[in-house]
Structure 1
């Protein structure tokens, strides 16, 4: 698929699968989405490479129990055959310290095609 509509559909599907993997709270389902050289910027710090990102995500899974993470309002300012950039709104709900909590913010992702598969190269979340 090289037409813009097809690419957008393919990448929206990828984002939905990534969202589902995160909502499974199983890090082994999340890791296949990451590029080896990925860099994630979260409100609490920056993480480089799969192992650092793995640790950060596992910490989130342990801190926010029963978390449901939702991506909304996807926009694709860059949409190419091998690289795409999306910006979006996100929201989450879960249990933190025994209390129901929620939050929301903005995100940006750089997604690259490597060996025929889309991978997360960069994620930047801010609330």
Structure 2
């Protein structure tokens, strides 16, 4: 059950638009695959998030139709449809795509996001 809470915490942290909150739920070796970029360091991930938050103001990010594909005592993988909405150049925009998240449970019992892959539909 902790992995489901980890996804909720990740989504909540993302919607604060403060990378310090996102950092708390990321594994130190996290890798992101976006449609247009691969981020392999926390600094790259932070830059990507902050750029997105600057482009789309007041963005709200959410997950729908979450399906947990694998889960055991140390890892869990889910897929879902992601949705976003906010303001781009003053105009309201929204969109969606596909996401895969992999969470891993550390020795301290905390679940952390170690991989995210986002793509358009």
* TM-score bracket relative to the smaller structure: over 0.9
Question: Counterparts of 1:44 and 1:74 in 2: how far apart (Å)?
Answer: 23
Provide the TM-score with structure 2 as the length reference: 0.93
Q: Give me the CA root mean square deviation.
A: 1.0
Match of 2:9 in 1: 17
Match of 1:55 in 2: 47
Provide the TM-score with structure 1 as the length reference: 0.89
Match of 1:4 in 2: none
Which whole-Å deviations, capped at 9, do the CAs of 1:77-97 have from their partners, x for residues lacking one?
110111111101110100011
Check if 1:125 corresponds to 2:103. Answer: no
Check if 1:104 corresponds to 2:96. Answer: yes
Please state how far the C-alpha of 1:112 moved relative to its aligned partner: 0.4
Please state how far the C-alpha of 1:17 moved relative to its aligned partner: 1.4
Please state how far the C-alpha of 1:73 moved relative to its aligned partner: 1.1
Aligned residue for 1:51, secondary structure, equals helix
How many residues were matched structurally? 119
Which whole-Å deviations, capped at 9, do the CAs of 1:42-65 have from their partners, x for residues lacking one?
112100021111111111111110
Please state how far the C-alpha of 1:36 moved relative to its aligned partner: 1.1
Moved >2 Å (runs of 4+)? none
Counterparts of 1:74-85 in structure 2, within 5 Å, are: 74-85=66-77
* Unmatched 5+ stretches in structure 1: 1-6
Question: Counterparts of 1:45 and 1:97 in 2: how far apart (Å)?
Answer: 23
* Unmatched 5+ stretches in structure 2: none
Q: What is the aligned counterpart of 2:37 among 21, 30, 45?
A: 45
Match of 1:3 in 2: none
